[in-house]
Amino acid sequence: MKIVVVGSGSIGSLYGAFLSQLKDTEVILIGRNPHISAIQKKGLRIKGILGDRLFKLKAMKFASEVDSADLVIITTKTYDTLEAAKSAKHLIDAGASVLLIQNGLGTEEVVAKALNTTKVLRATTCMGALRTSPGVVTATGCGLTEIGSRYPENRELVERLVKMMKEVGFKVRSSENIEGVVWTKTLVNCGINPVGALTGLSNGEVYKNHILRGLIVRLVEEAVQVVDALGVELTTDDPIRYALGTAKATGDNINSMLQDLQAGKRTEIDAITGEIIRLAKEHGIETPSNEAVYALVKALESRNLKEGKKLAEVDVLKVADLVEAITG
C-alpha cells in the first residue's frame, strides 16, 4: 500500500513512521520546513514512550510531487482540512481513499462534498505527540485509535487499516458508529479544552478546581442537548462523568487548544465549540456557556494572531474572572 500523509506534524509523523515498517508499504510525508527538510537529510527520529528510533522514509513539501497513492491520511488542523484535501485531489481522483485523523466535527462531509468522493474514513486518536525539534517527534501518550466510515463501502479498508496499525503496535479498533465516537470525543474537548486554554491550566489543575469542574459540566450538558436533537448514539452512557474522568486521567496534559494559544497559533475551537453552537441554533437550543467560552477564546486568539503574541506574553484569565465572564 502506498500511503501519503498530508500535514505531517507530530501525529502525522508518528503514524507515518510506524506504518512505514510494514512489508509492501511505502509512506510519504507531506509537510512544512524545517521539519520536512530535516527528515530528508537525517531521517525522522521518534522518541518518548515508544522508544528512541530513527526512521528513513520519503518526505516532501507538496502532495503535487506524488504521482499515485492508495491512501491519503490527513492529519492537519481542522481549519486546513479542505486545503489539504484539495492538494491531494489528483490522487483522490485517481482512486485513493482518504483517512481523516482529526479533532472536531464535520470534516468528512466537507471532504466528501468538495472532492465528490465517498471513499472517506474518519479516525479519532488518544495518541499524544509533540514535535520537539525539526525531524524529531516525542511520543507522550499511547491511547486508543478508533477508525470507521459513514460510507458502508469502506468497511473492508477500515478493517485492513486496523490490522495494519495493530501490527505496528498501536492500540486500535474499528467502529460501526464513528459518528458517535467523534461526538463523544468532541464533548470531552468542548468541556476541557476551552477552560484549560483560557486559564492556562493543565487538565489535572482544571479537574482539581471545583468551580472549573462545574463549568465543564455546564459546557457538556449544553452539548448533550445537541447530540440528543441530532439522534446521535454516544459511546458512553454518562458523558459528563466521562469528560471529568478524562480530565483526571490526563492530568499532566496541556490540551491542544492551550498549546496553540501558547504558540500564538489559531485554535480549533470553530470545529468544536463553534460547530456545537451552530447546530444548537439550528435546533433552537440555547448554549450560553459554550457561546461565552467561544467568544473569549476567539478574542484571545484574534489578539495574539494580530499582534504576533504568544500566551506566555499575555495574561490568562483567573478562575474567578472566567466564571464571572460566563455567568455574568
Is there a single domain that holds both residue 168 and residue 230?
A: no
Its sign, for the CA torsion 60, 63, 66, 72, is positive
Q: Is the Cβ–Cβ distance between 91 and 23 less than 8 Å?
A: no
pLDDT at 81 (0 to 100): 95
Is there a single domain that holds both residue 152 and residue 12?
A: yes
pLDDT at 285 (0 to 100): 98
CATH number of residue 49's parent domain: 3.40.50.720
pLDDT at 205 (0 to 100): 96
Q: At 66, list the grid cell.
A: 506524488
Is there a single domain that holds both residue 159 and residue 194?
A: no
* pLDDT tens for each residue of 235-264: 999 999 999 999 998 888 889 899 888 888
Is there a single domain that holds both residue 80 and residue 162?
A: yes
Mean pLDDT of the chain: 93
Is there a single domain that holds both residue 66 and residue 198?
A: no
- Helical spans, DSSP H, in 231-313: 239-249, 256-262, 273-282, 288-307
pLDDT at 316 over 80: no
pLDDT at 252 (0 to 100): 83
Range of the structural domain that residue 187 is part of: 179-327
Is there a single domain that holds both residue 48 and residue 131?
A: yes
Catalytic residue among 185, 265, 298, 309: 185
pLDDT at 23 over 80: yes
- The 3-state secondary structure of 64-111 reads HHCCCCCEEEECCCHHHHHHHHHHCHHHHHCCCEEEEECCCCCHHHHH
Neighbouring-strand partners of residue 142? 127
Number of compact structural domains in the chain: 2
Is there a single domain that holds both residue 186 and residue 168?
A: no
Q: Is the Cβ–Cβ distance between 9 and 36 less than 8 Å?
A: no
- The residue among 114, 143, 176 that closes a domain is 176
- The residue among 149, 176, 203 that closes a domain is 176
In order, the DSSP letters of 282-303 are HTT---HHHHHHHHHHHHHHHH
Please enumerate in sequence order all residues whose Cβ is within 8 A of that of 309, keeping only pairs 6 or more positions apart, or say none.
264, 303
Is there a single domain that holds both residue 172 and residue 102?
A: yes
pLDDT at 149 over 70: yes
CATH number of residue 220's parent domain: 1.10.1040.10
Q: Is the Cβ–Cβ distance between 289 and 215 less than 8 Å?
A: yes
Is there a single domain that holds both residue 126 and residue 205?
A: no
| The residue to which cell 468522493 is assigned | 117
pLDDT at 142 (0 to 100): 83
Is there a single domain that holds both residue 96 and residue 153?
A: yes
Q: Is the Cβ–Cβ distance between 189 and 216 less than 8 Å?
A: no
Q: Is the Cβ–Cβ distance between 249 and 206 less than 8 Å?
A: no
Is there a single domain that holds both residue 202 and residue 127?
A: no
Is there a single domain that holds both residue 184 and residue 171?
A: no
pLDDT at 314 (0 to 100): 46
Residues 244 and 14: their CA atoms lie apart, in Å, by 28
- The residue among 121, 148, 176 that closes a domain is 176
Query: Is 185 marked active-site?
Result: yes
* pLDDT tens for each residue of 290-304: 999 999 999 988 877
